[in-house]
Amino acid sequence: MHIPVLKDEVLRALNLKANGKYLDATLGFAGHSLAILDETEKMGKRGEVLGIEKDEEACSFVKAFISENKIRGLTVINDSYIHLKEVAEKQWFKEVDGVLFDLGLSSWQLEKSNRGFTFQKNEPLDIRYSIKDKEGLTAEKILATWPEKDLIKMLKRNSQEKFAKPIAKEIVATRNIKPLKTTFDLTEVIQRALTKAPYQQKLKSKIHPATRTFQALRIEVNQEFASLKQGLEKSLDILNKNGRLAIISFHSLEEKIIKNFFKNKRKEKKLKIITLKPITPSKAELSQNKRARSAKLWVAEKI
């Protein structure tokens, strides 16, 4: 199963209570949800978790896992967290004691999904969490059809890419000769764009030059920022008084949305911010899971 980031910190942040109800808005492979249910001394025998997951394959895996292992108390729903209020009401899960958002990719999505989430493997340029909609927007469609100016805006908006202009220009020039079909096609274009003068001299970074472009495409394809804003708003509609909202972010643009949401709801006297500074992984966790290095946990409580 997926190793959950900041597991112990999340369990403390949610302030688990006997027979509590908790909603995992980004179930993934159920790492956090199973950890919550494992806290039997705090949760009691009637504690429940409702898990919402957009990825159909992840849902199927978790359902099979809980069936085979006879795990009680976890309900899995294949949907987006933008519908979390509607899902919760349908499942008679209207009043919950905690809501969790883990905004990171799972190891499975990077290593096994074959959807192009990583530039380290040669895969189709899909980058969708859900593949239900066969005609839905994909990274390949964006790269094939969007005007250069829109590609530039997207790269700047979704990843603060400093080299948006040369990357977009090279994408358009390349697609006029041959289509970009795979992650390696795109990575090659980015590297070619940034090895041309004067960008070659300016390119000094610890991260791979394709990192921000892949992030920007993933965010655009899945409408992550708009979805997060909707999901956070709806989480307050189902939280009990003193219920906890815990969010794990992985980059500054997510952080900005979370911090603005917390500040606005504090002004409206709907939330009390618990973490004035985000909680970060311990040295012990980082030694076991390097992917946790950028994780930050933000916690607030409903007033």
CB proximity list for 47: less than 8 A, separation 6 or greater: 16, 18, 19, 20, 21, 22, 36, 37, 39, 40, 73
Please tell me the CATH superfamily of domain 7-109+224-302, with its number.
Vaccinia Virus protein VP39 (3.40.50.150)
- Farthest CA pair distance, the chain: 65
Q: What's the pLDDT tens digit per position in 172-215? A: 999 999 999 999 999 999 999 988 766 664 556 678 899 999 99
User: In the sheet where 271-273 sits, what is the strand order?
Assistant: 74-78, 48-53, 21-24, 96-102, 239-249, 296-302, 271-273
Domain boundaries, the chain: 7-109+224-302, 113-222
Residue 128's pLDDT is 95
CB contact at 8 A, 124 and 140: yes
Q: pLDDT-derived band of residue 110, with 50, 70 and 90 as boundaries? A: confident
| pLDDT the model gives residue 203 | 58
- Each residue's pLDDT tens digit, 53-71: 999 999 999 999 999 999 9
Distance separating alpha carbons of residues 4 and 51, to the nearest angstrom: 14
φ, ψ of residue 50 to 5 degrees: the values are -105, 120
Cis status of the peptide bond prior to 166, with omega within 30 of 0? no
Residues 262-268 have a mean pLDDT of: 98
Residue 121 has pLDDT above 70, yes or no: yes
Greater confidence, 145 or 46?
A: 145
Least confident of 125-129, 192-196, 243-247, 284-288: 192-196
Quick check: 78 and 54 in contact, CB under 8 A?
yes
- What's residue 132's pLDDT? 81
Average pLDDT over residues 80-94: 95
**pLDDT (0 to 100) of residue 205:** 66
Q: Which residue has the tokens 């969790």?
A: 100
Q: What is the pLDDT of residues 234-248, one digit of tens each?
A: 999 999 999 999 999
Distance CA 245, CA 300 (A): 5
Phi, psi (degrees; rounded to nearest 5) at 292: -85, -5
Indicate if 113-222 has the same CATH topology as 7-109+224-302.
Answer: no
Architecture of 113-222 per CATH? Answer: Orthogonal Bundle (1.10)
